[in-house]
């Protein structure tokens, strides 16, 4: 079968290659891959900046935002033949640490976790894969191709859970949320905010185009200036840019008793002038909490599946701005203006 693989840390090594059928040791559930979403992590891996191949192997199969259809499942499995499913990305470390031992691999303490398509475990960008029941999540059949949005939605479902658990340290009735960044993660974070009946605001650089339109059609407010200019201090900020100046601006503008969740990854190495005294005053005197959030465990995938099932499918379909056939994978991995989510269709037209 065909798979898109790379030699990690070697730019230009990506190739569509023939690989063996997935081994039975990967799990009793056999899945036909329908589509795989592309994100910044894939582009980093492709550029030779990130990624680890499985032990003893040179190449790593890419792909962690998957959508597939079950071809074989044993009796008693949580999915049956024909179901649309998504594979969970992270696997617990083998030690395991205290968190991985209780299926909270998103909080792995020792860094020895593996991730399909990223770290020491082949991804989902092959025609078929096998998986164990614990790591496969069923998607509402009505979503079709939109099920490929489940993995990025799991990341924001975890961020929202973090916000709510931290907010719950005192009486908690948030009214306003600011999402910084209108990429797929930011837009999905905004969707989950609207589903919570909050007054949702999204900030990004573009003043026009598909991102502002997507924000407005969600019933949220779009801003293209600085965080300090939005005219209020949000109860919740979900940071999805990873841009230092935006992060610091946002940190000094969280409302009283508010919670800010960081989901974007900064590249580091930048130094900017910043009044840390003012930020400290704001955080202490207003009980502000800032929390980081990465990855997702099974509970978050299930919350994400419910959120997508309840969402407007026309709106979700507008997030997928390009669909590219597997043979044209190189085009999918090249950024275009106005891209939101680009999807590689491994089986074109089978999940429309
Ligand atoms: Zn662990």
- Output the CA–CA distances (angstroms, integers) from residue 115 to 11, 60, 169, 243, in the order listed: 20, 11, 32, 25
Q: How far is the CA of 90 from the centre of ligand 1 (A)?
A: 10
**Beta strand pairing call for 60-61 and 2-6:** antiparallel
C-alpha to C-alpha distance for 82 and 289, rounded to whole angstroms: 44
Burial (CB < 10 A; 0-12, 13-18, 19+), residue 116, is buried
Is residue 344 a contact partner of residue 125, using CB atoms and an 8 Å limit? Answer: yes
Residues of the chain where predicted confidence (pLDDT) is lower than 70: 350-352
| Each residue's pLDDT tens digit, 200-245 | 999 999 999 999 999 999 999 999 999 999 999 999 999 999 999 9
Q: How far is the CA of 14 from the centre of ligand 1 (A)?
A: 29
Q: Give the up-direction half-sphere exposure of residue 109: CA atoms within 13 A in the CB hemisphere.
A: 9
Q: How far is the CA of 103 from the centre of ligand 1 (A)?
A: 9
Q: How far is the CA of 234 from the centre of ligand 1 (A)?
A: 34
Q: How far is the CA of 97 from the centre of ligand 1 (A)?
A: 4
- Output the CA–CA distances (angstroms, integers) from residue 324 to 82, 128, 320, 339, 349, in the order listed: 23, 18, 11, 12, 11
96 preceded by cis ω (within 30°)?
Answer: yes
* pLDDT of amino acid 173: 97
pTM score of the predicted model: 0.96
């Amino acid at each position: 079968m065909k798979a898109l693989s790379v030699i990690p840390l070697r730019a230009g090594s990506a190739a569509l290659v023939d690989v063996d059928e997935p081994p039975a040791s990967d799990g009793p559930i056999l899945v036909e891959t329908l589509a795989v979403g592309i994100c910044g992590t894939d582009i980093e891996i492709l550029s030779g900046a990130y990624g680890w191949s499985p032990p003893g192997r040179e190449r790593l199969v890419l792909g962690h935002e998957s959508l597939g259809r079950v071809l074989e499942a044993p009796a008693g499995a949580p999915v049956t033949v024909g179901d649309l499913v998504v594979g969970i990305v992270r696997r617990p470390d083998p030690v395991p640490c205290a968190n991985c031992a209780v299926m909270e691999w998103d909080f792995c303490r020792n860094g020895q976790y593996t991730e399909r398509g990223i770290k020491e475990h082949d991804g989902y960008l092959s025609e078929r894969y096998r998986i164990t029941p614990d790591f496969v999540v069923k998607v509402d059949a009505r979503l079709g191709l939109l099920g490929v949005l489940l993995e990025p939605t799991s990341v924001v479902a975890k961020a929202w859970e973090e916000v709510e658990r931290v907010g719950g340290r005192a009486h908690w009735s948030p009214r306003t949320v600011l999402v910084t960044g209108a990429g797929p993660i930011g837009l999905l974070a905004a969707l989950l905010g609207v589903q919570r009946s909050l007054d949702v605001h999204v900030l990004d650089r573009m003043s026009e185009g598909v991102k502002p339109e997507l924000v407005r059609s969600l019933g949220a407010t779009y801003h293209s200036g600085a965080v300090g200019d939005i005219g209020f201090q949000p109860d919740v900020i979900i940071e999805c840019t990873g841009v230092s100046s935006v992060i610091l601006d946002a940190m000094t503008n969280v409302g009283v008793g508010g919670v800010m969740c960081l989901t974007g990854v900064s590249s580091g190495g930048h130094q900017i002038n910043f009044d840390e005294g003012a930020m400290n005053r704001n955080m202490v005197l207003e009980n502000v909490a800032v929390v980081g959030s990465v990855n997702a465990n099974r509970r978050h995938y299930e919350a994400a599946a419910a959120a997508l099932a309840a969402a407007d499918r026309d709106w979700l379909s507008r997030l997928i701005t390009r669909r590219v056939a597997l043979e044209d994978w190189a085009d999918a991995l090249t950024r275009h203006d106005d891209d939101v989510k680009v999807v590689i269709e491994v089986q074109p037209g089978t999940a429309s």
